[in-house]
Amino acid sequence: MWTHLERQAGGRVKGMGEKQIEVDKRILRDQIIVLKKELASVRKHRKQYRNRRGSVPVPVVSLVGYTNAGKSTLLNRLTGAKVLAEDRLFATLDPTTRRVQMKNGNEFLLTDTVGFIQKLPTTLVAAFRATLEEISESSLLVHVVDISHPLAEQQIDAVDKVLAELDVASIPKLMVWNKVDKASDPLRTKFEAEKREDTICISALSGDGLDEFCNAVQDKLKDSMVWVEALIPFDKGEFLSTIHQFGVVERTEYTENGTMVRAFVPLRFARLLTPMRQLCVP
């Protein structure tokens, strides 16, 4: 940081002490300008990306939670991604989205986000807006907790406080107790989780509980979907595969006019299906 000191000293500038402070200020001001520009470009890029993604009816699930809870480890584990997961604070600063394919063929998008900390200052919230904007547009929030941490409860509260500031109350939530392998009494912890609503116990590291996690995500996503009955003409096969990919199909029936589907689908997609839904009105 102080490499410019020598240069200044070499020039034998009068009143050097003051000058150095001036130089420091200028360097920092320049850096702030550069960083602000970068931040603006990240936000613009993410927005364009989200708009593009908005045209495809894929449900987005966001991982939120205290820093070091294991969000990136969970994303990597489920998607084979190679997002930096490290035992240090704020390992992740840039949101990353990957596709998760479940055993039953269903898919959803999973976004890793920056970790929260206690008393996240409002100015810092502003700086993290690029990643936080991502959260407000998701279909489901998965709150990842390091349940082996002695201060797990305080960390949960801290995360809830930040979420309250973000105006995401209407988005469904799922609680994930991670690092159960490291808990002092894993069996008891699992038992505790089972007693609670919308709480899943996992170990992102060992893979324990990941199937249950995916099923719970699927169930929760279903809550945010709408029920449709539609007759899909044979030449609109792409709609049918999208329903299977992102919806939950209860029944399909082949008729001479097309395929009759009864399913839960994401709201945006239901709108695209509107013309076909009218077809089933007798």
For binding to ligand GTP (CB under 6 A), which residues are involved?
A: 65, 67-73, 85-87, 89-92, 115, 178-179, 181-182, 203-205
> Among 149, 202, 148, 150, which Cα is nearest to 174's?
202
Contact 96, 85 (CB under 8 A): no
Nearer to ligand GTP, 87 or 235 (CB): 87
Nearer to ligand GTP, 128 or 269 (CB): 128
Residue 92 CB, shortest distance to Mg ion, in Å, is 3
Task: Give the separation between CA 85 and CA 70, rounded to whole angstroms.
Answer: 8
Q: Which of the choices Mg ion, ligand GTP, none does residue 247 contact, using the CB cut-off of 5 to 8 A by kind?
A: none
Nearer to ligand GTP, 62 or 67 (CB): 67
Task: Give the separation between CA 158 and CA 135, rounded to whole angstroms.
Answer: 16
Nearer to ligand GTP, 190 or 269 (CB): 190
Biggest CA pair distance of the chain: 92
Task: Give the separation between CA 79 and CA 110, rounded to whole angstroms.
Answer: 9
Nearer to Mg ion, 116 or 239 (CB): 116
Residue 64 CB, shortest distance to Mg ion, in Å, is 11
> Among 278, 238, 232, which Cα is nearest to 255's?
232
> Where on the chain is the footprint of Mg ion (CB under 5 A)?
71-72, 91-92
Residue 160 CB, shortest distance to ligand GTP, in Å, is 16
Residue 131 CB, shortest distance to ligand GTP, in Å, is 10
CA angle 132, 45, 222 (to 5 degrees): 50
Residue 179 CB, shortest distance to ligand GTP, in Å, is 4
Residue 132 CB, shortest distance to ligand GTP, in Å, is 13
Residue 86 CB, shortest distance to Mg ion, in Å, is 8
Q: Which of the choices ligand GTP, Mg ion, none does residue 90 contact, using the CB cut-off of 5 to 8 A by kind?
A: ligand GTP
Nearer to Mg ion, 72 or 79 (CB): 72
Nearer to Mg ion, 46 or 71 (CB): 71
